[in-house]
Amino acid sequence: MFLPTTKDEIKKLGWEQLDIILVSGDTYIDSSYNGSAIIGKWLYKHGFKVGIIAQPDINSPDDITRLGEPKLFWAVSGGCVDSMVANYTATKKKRKKDDFTPGGENNRRPDRASIQYTNLIKRFFKNSSTPIVLGGIEASLRRIVHYDFWSNSLRRSIVFDAKADIISYGMGEKSMLALANAIKNGEDWRDIRGLSYISKEPKSSYVQLPSYEDCVKDKDTFAKAFELFYVNCDPITAKGLSQKHGDRYLIQNPPSEVFSEKEMDEIYNMDFEREVHPYYKSQGEVRALDTIRNSVTTHRGCYGECNFCAIAVHQGRTVISRSEDSIIKEVKDIASSKKFKGYISDVGGPTANMYQIECAKKLKHGACSHKRCLYPETCPGLKLNHKRQIDLLKKLKSIDNIKKIFIASGIRYDLILDDKGCGSLYLEEIIKDHISGQMKIAPEHTEDKVLSYMGKQGKSLLKEFKNKFYKINEKLGKKQFLTYYLIAAHPGCNEKDMLDLKRFASAELRVNPEQVQVFTPTPSTYSTLMYYTEKDPLTGKKLFVEKDNGKKQKQKDIIVPKEHNIKYKKKK
C-alpha cells in the first residue's frame, strides 16, 4: 500500500488523525530508495499512523495543511540529495532538471528545503507545540557548524537556522522509531542515540566542540571542530558532542547502533509499491523511477572514506549487509510483477563489491581512529573475499523471468585487485553477465598527488585493473570497454594536474574521458574542509584550491572541451 497523501486516503484507512507527517523535497516514490518512504513504512509497520506531503508549495497553505496536524511530530527532509546540490551545479548555475520531480522540471524543490518547510509548518500551524524533526542527508550533514559553499560561509547547525526541535541524523529507522515511542508514551527522548537537539546547557560528559563563534573567527579552530566531529561518528567508539551557538548548545547524542543483518532484512522486506503515488503521478513522469524501480539494495555503509564523499558521515564506515535469502526474495518479487521486462537495474550499495566484506575487529571494537581501511593501502585486517557476491549473483541469474542482472553501483577496483583468491573470478563474472558494453569505474583522477588529497590509492592500480579487464574480455571473446568518472578542481588540483591526467588517459588508458565533474564542496567532508581552509588537514600545510568558477570550468574543459560537452548532451 501507499502511505496516505490526502484526507480521503486517511478516511479510507479508518484513521481520524495521523501520528506523524513526513514532508519531503522529493516526490513520493514508494520505494526503499526514497528516504521518506522507507522511514514512513518502518513507522507504519510498528503501529503508527503516517502520511506524506511531498514537495509542498511554500507560498500557499494548501499542501502543508492538507493532512491536518500530526499527534506526535512532523518529520522534515530536503530529499535524497541536499537541496542546494539538487538545485545548483558546482559552478553555482541553476539546474533545469530534477529527476525526483514530476515532469522533470526543477521548479518544486526550494533552496534550503529543510529550513523552508519548517518555516512553512510554523507559518500555518502558529499555535502548535507539535515538534518538528529534521532528517535525511541535508539535515544529517548540516547537523554541526559547517561550511556552506553556496553562501561561502560557515553556517550554524541546521536545527538553529530552521528553528526546528530535533535532528535525526544518519540512517534514521532506529532513532525515529525510538522517538515516536517516547513521545507517544510521554517519556524523555533526549538520550536517544542518533538524535541532536538544542539545549540551554551543555552536557558535561560530552565532548565540547569549539563554538560556532570561535569557528567563524579562526579556520584552524573550525578544522579542529571538524576532526572531533568526524572521529565521533562510529556507533561503537563515538562520544556525544556539545557545541555552543550563541547562548545555547547543540547536543549530539552518539550515533544509532549498527544494524544487524536481521534488522536490515526487516527493513528491506517491507512491502513497497515501486511506483509514484497516484496523487503525484498525475502531475508528470518521474525520471528517477526508471533507475530505482527494479534496483535492489544489498548493504549500507562504506569504508572507502573518499575525502569528497559524505557516506562515511551519513551511512557510516561499517558495511552492514542483508542476508542472501532476503535479497533473493526481493528479486523474485520484482520478477513476478506483470510490468517486469526481465532486467534488474542494479544490485548493490554505495560500493557494490563491499557486500559481505567487513573487518571482524571493526564490528566488535569500532572503526580504527588511527588508520583507514583502504588508504594509503588496503588494511590486511580486511579479509577480502568476493565469493559470497559471486554465489549471490549466480543465484539471482537463475530466477525465473530474469534476463539480466546489472551492477550499476560503484565498484572498487582496488578491492578486486587485492582479493588474490576470488577477485579475478568476480571481475570475470561481472564482465560476462552483469554489464552491457561498458563498465563504469571511478578513479576520480590519475595523478598521485591529487589522489592522496582525495584519500584514494595511486594510479598504478588503475593501470593494473585496466589490463586485467581487457585481458578477461579477450578471453571471453567480448569487446567491452571501461569508462571513467573523473573530478576536476578538487583541492590540491591545478591545470597542470588536469593536463597530466589528459596525457595519462590518452597514453595509458587509450581514451578521451567524457564523464568529468567539477568538485562540489558539500557539507561535512574532508575535501570541503580543505576547500574552506586551503590547508592539508593532515599536515596543516598551505594547499592550492581553485575557487574561481571560470577556472574550475577551465580545468574540466582541458579533459572535455565545451564543444564536446554540447554534442554529448545532445546525444544523451
Q: Establish how many alpha carbons lie within 13 A of residue 74's alpha carbon, considering only the half-sphere containing its beta carbon.
A: 27
| pLDDT surpassing 50 at residue 122 | yes
Write down all domains in the chain, each with its CATH number in brackets.
Answer: 7-197 (3.40.50.280), 294-436 (3.30.750.210), 438-572 (3.30.750.200)
Q: How confident is the model over 411-425, as pLDDT tens digits?
A: 999 999 999 999 999
Q: Residue 369 — very low, low, confident or very high, per pLDDT cuts 50/70/90?
A: confident
| pLDDT surpassing 60 at residue 352 | yes
Q: How confident is the model over 238-288, as pLDDT tens digits?
A: 999 999 999 999 999 999 999 999 999 999 999 999 999 999 999 999 999
Q: What is the mean pLDDT of residues 434-440?
A: 94
Cell numbers 552536557 correspond to: 203
| Beta strand 146-148 pairing with 73-77 | unpaired
- Mean pLDDT of all residues in the chain? 96
- Tell me the residue type at 294: N
Q: What is the pLDDT of residue 572?
A: 46
Of all helices (H) and strands (E), which one includes residue 194? Answer: none
Per the DSSP assignment, residues forming a β-bridge with 42 are: none
For 92, left (φ over 0), alpha (ψ -120 to 50), or beta? left
| pLDDT surpassing 50 at residue 559 | yes
Residues annotated as binding site? 302, 306, 309
In the chain, the largest separation of any two C-alpha atoms, in whole Å, equals 71
| pLDDT surpassing 60 at residue 564 | no
Percent over 90 (pLDDT), the chain:
97
C-alpha cell at 203: 552536557
Nearest-CA neighbor of 215 among 202, 205, 228?
228
| pLDDT surpassing 90 at residue 569 | no
Distances (CA, A) of 569 to 489, 563, 572: 21, 10, 5
Q: How confident is the model over 69-85, as pLDDT tens digits?
A: 999 999 999 999 999 99
Q: What is the pLDDT of residue 567?
A: 45
φ and ψ of 321, to 5 deg: -105, 150
Nearest-CA neighbor of 267 among 172, 347, 343?
172
Distance CA 94, CA 97 (A): 9
Q: What is the pLDDT of residue 568?
A: 44
| pLDDT surpassing 60 at residue 481 | yes
Q: What is the pLDDT of residue 563?
A: 56
| pLDDT surpassing 90 at residue 322 | yes
Q: What is the mean pLDDT of residues 362-373?
A: 94
Residues annotated as binding site for [4Fe-4S] cluster? 302, 306, 309
Q: What is the pLDDT of residue 570?
A: 47
DSSP letter at 507 equals I
Q: How confident is the model over 134-168, as pLDDT tens digits?
A: 999 999 999 999 999 999 999 999 999 999 999 99
For 108, left (φ over 0), alpha (ψ -120 to 50), or beta? alpha
| pLDDT surpassing 80 at residue 565 | no
